[in-house]
Structure 1
């Protein structure tokens, strides 16, 4: 199971993508360009003092989301980073977004102002698009990367971007804290007046929003200032587990063409059952395989272990995700025939085999990144990236004092 977390892309393969960009040939940056007024104004403002080891500082990190009456979302962003040390160059010069089955990147622009007043710019004509992902055979998500050239110590780098989304869930996740200090982060939401947004603060103290209603439109905005950098420590949890972020959930006045509002964890469970229920049904080939594997085994625990062992060892982990396939498993008979699948596919095949053998089972949707989800976490489709299976047992003592088989 794969997800793009509100387009906050923090993956192991991002470093590999950076190497690809460094060696990729592309158009040269344009010199002597017109710099937008907001970035020009920032270039003339004095910086507060920072510890000498600070590599770069984010001057602004802005996000805007417009939710239309049909549920379509327009999300845009603007950021500016000042490079203080040579080690901060690579942190400042790269912007990555993603085209997915329901998200289209419409615009990306970048500018550089150097200390000698030379300027550079790049835009959508200069982006590199790749489906690079080492652990996935095929994934229709395309990373869209803009890597600015001629960035150096004391450069000021600015980016703007915009994308259109036909969401599954009416929510947005704004990560305003990262490994660089941020002077100011701003979030704004525009939606129909009848919609009911809720703002949920994670790893951060709440900030009082400003709300206005003008005619048929509601606007909510928040400003967060002087955000410290996340301290990089050995063996620390992933950044999303400790970084401050704002989860925005939008409850519409009625059902929409795009997106839905999940009111509870049960709501998400029912939605996932809609996606997967028919796909975990056994057919004759599955029934025959179960009979072959369990023939002559009367002990319940041994039968369960035999089926689980088959899926663990004989079904290769191969991920193919097209469209909704990042969430929806393939049908169980096809997984058995092909002898491959990802986490949710393996769970789905095992569920079908267990059903054929007379056992009930249930998906458990989890997050494998340590400490990224807590019992107090708000209801969100963004919080999960893995699927496993729980088996309902008539006798819970079968696995006492031992590791459960999943």
Structure 2
């Protein structure tokens, strides 16, 4: 009798779980408050990151999004950036109709695969695979499953549940697991006013958020990124394109970049050094000399981007830019710095981020 009751209880729990899961694939179960100001609703977004070591990271995501109208198509976000350091393990999409029935299965080979850089780049190993799907009718639901492994641990995905206007969140979670010997730093932004749960231990970080109604843009409102919650993470010990490092603060970051990536690239030939010294010898001061050198660089070289491996961060040698007559932002910056150094003018190599773009 007791065994029978246990079996009946287990059956009921399994049934309830299956029913609740099935409810995520139809718009009928979306709470009314989440449909307001929403073109799409994230039903569940679970990101799991396992830092296996400072040189290996496994990232898994399961994202279920119900798209209510055509303006919500962009909220699907079914894509994956990759390069030679990323091993794609899983990439697939299931499409459901409004009643929760699977109407299409899309495998990795069916994703569009294109370069992830613009026309100004001569060559790069950065690419992106993305879903190209035209719905037959609305609403519909997309389930996006992805998993990849990488030896780049310098950049850990953030917990960023609300990614755009007119997007509601039913449930979103983020879990970061790591060995106890790794030191993980985090920075929380704009989490006040949101019901965010978090659980922090010596080897795991977990955040979750539920029932966030869509945000409607307003005139003269702050930047979107300044009003939505975001938690950023970084490991003190990391690997970037095969270069290992340990960085505690910005000073150590700058020291690492200079000594490991930049210092060895200031290798102008003796002939170029003599030429540039001759060019500025009659200028009255360092400002005038710098202007002459900037004009020299502008007349001599042109911008062409080549970003492969650590080349996305490490500039070409100054001698190569001088010989070839071209380089990317890092290469041209570094070349100009080497020319200034050749005539005794101190300058500093700087890395600047604007939005999602890195510039040197």
TM-score, normalising length from structure 1? 0.72
Q: Distance in 2 between the 1:137 and 1:38 partners?
A: 50
Decide whether the 8 Å contact of 1:287 with 1:353 is kept in 2: yes
The aligned counterpart of 2:185 is 198
Q: Distance in 2 between the 1:221 and 1:319 partners?
A: 39
Distance 1:234 1:95, change over 3 A: farther
Q: Distance in 2 between the 1:128 and 1:324 partners?
A: 26
Matching of residue 316 in structure 1 with residue 302 in structure 2: yes
The aligned counterpart of 1:399 is none
Decide whether the 8 Å contact of 1:290 with 1:357 is kept in 2: yes
Q: Distance in 2 between the 1:37 and 1:313 partners?
A: 68
> Given the alignment, which residue of 248, 260, 270 partners 2:255?
270
Matching of residue 108 in structure 1 with residue 108 in structure 2: no
Distance 1:300 1:360, change over 3 A: closer
The aligned counterpart of 1:283 is 269
Larger Rg: 2
Distance 1:88 1:249, change over 3 A: same
Q: Distance in 1 between the 2:187 and 2:272 partners?
A: 44
Q: Distance in 1 between the 2:179 and 2:42 partners?
A: 32
Q: Deviation at 1:90?
A: 4.4
Question: SS of the residue aligned with 2:78?
Answer: strand
Distance 1:341 1:242, change over 3 A: farther
Question: SS of the residue aligned with 2:135?
Answer: coil
- Higher strand content, 1 or 2: 2
Superposition pairs of residues 177-188 of structure 1, within 5 angstroms: 177-179=162-164, 180-188=167-175
The aligned counterpart of 1:43 is 25
Q: Distance in 2 between the 1:240 and 1:103 partners?
A: 28
Q: Distance in 2 between the 1:328 and 1:339 partners?
A: 18
Decide whether the 8 Å contact of 2:50 with 2:58 is kept in 1: yes
Distance 1:283 1:174, change over 3 A: farther
Q: How many residues align?
A: 331
Matching of residue 128 in structure 1 with residue 117 in structure 2: no
> Given the alignment, which residue of 132, 135, 141 partners 1:150?
135
What's the CA shift string for 1:293-315, capped at 9, x where partnerless?
32432333211111122224532
Q: Distance in 2 between the 1:123 and 1:40 partners?
A: 21
Q: Distance in 2 between the 1:236 and 1:289 partners?
A: 54
The aligned counterpart of 2:198 is 209
Distance 1:311 1:228, change over 3 A: farther
What's the CA shift string for 1:220-254, capped at 9, x where partnerless?
3221223454555679887556543221233469x
The aligned counterpart of 1:385 is 358
Distance 1:233 1:348, change over 3 A: farther
> Given the alignment, which residue of 61, 66, 77 partners 2:50?
66
Decide whether the 8 Å contact of 1:114 with 1:151 is kept in 2: no
Q: Distance in 2 between the 1:109 and 1:39 partners?
A: 19
The aligned counterpart of 1:306 is 292
Distance 1:170 1:304, change over 3 A: closer
Question: SS of the residue aligned with 1:367?
Answer: strand
Distance 1:177 1:260, change over 3 A: farther
Distance 1:143 1:211, change over 3 A: same
Q: Which moved more, 1:47-56 or 1:37-46?
A: 37-46
Distance 1:364 1:55, change over 3 A: same
The aligned counterpart of 2:230 is 245
Q: Distance in 1 between the 2:222 and 2:121 partners?
A: 24
Extract unaligned runs of 5+ from structure 1.
1-35, 370-382, 388-406
The aligned counterpart of 2:150 is 165
Distance 1:259 1:303, change over 3 A: closer
- Higher helix content, 1 or 2: 2
Q: Distance in 2 between the 1:38 and 1:167 partners?
A: 37
Question: SS of the residue aligned with 1:59?
Answer: strand
Q: Distance in 1 between the 2:221 and 2:331 partners?
A: 31
> Given the alignment, which residue of 295, 310, 317 partners 1:331?
317
Extract unaligned runs of 5+ from structure 2.
1-17
